[in-house]
Structure 1
Amino acid sequence: GVSILDAVDEAGYYDQPHLTRALRQWVGYTPAQILHADDVDIET
């Protein structure tokens, strides 16, 4: 697997909090919520 820091860097974000804020604003969930959820409804 890929580390979170590698994923953050590859996605072009400055750091993990930057990615977390952007993801929460975009889909309404943090990465941890998505990772641990049984059924997260993400609309694109």
Structure 2
Amino acid sequence: MRTGAVWVIGISAVFYVAFLLSAFATFVHLGHRFYQYTVIYAPSNY
């Protein structure tokens, strides 16, 4: 009974960490794209 609960908690924790990493990677990627856009393309508009 206890080992089953440990398995459930461990698997859910692994999925939670994977979700956080993917969300963080997406945020960093979007932030990098936005930074590139503002730095490279914004001065040419003025």
TM exceeding 0.5: no
Give the structure with the higher percent helix.
Answer: 2
TM-score, with structure 1 as normaliser = 0.31
Rg larger for: 2
Instruction: Identify the structure with bigger relative contact order (alpha carbons < 8 Å, sequence gap 6+).
Output: 1
TM-score, with structure 2 as normaliser = 0.30
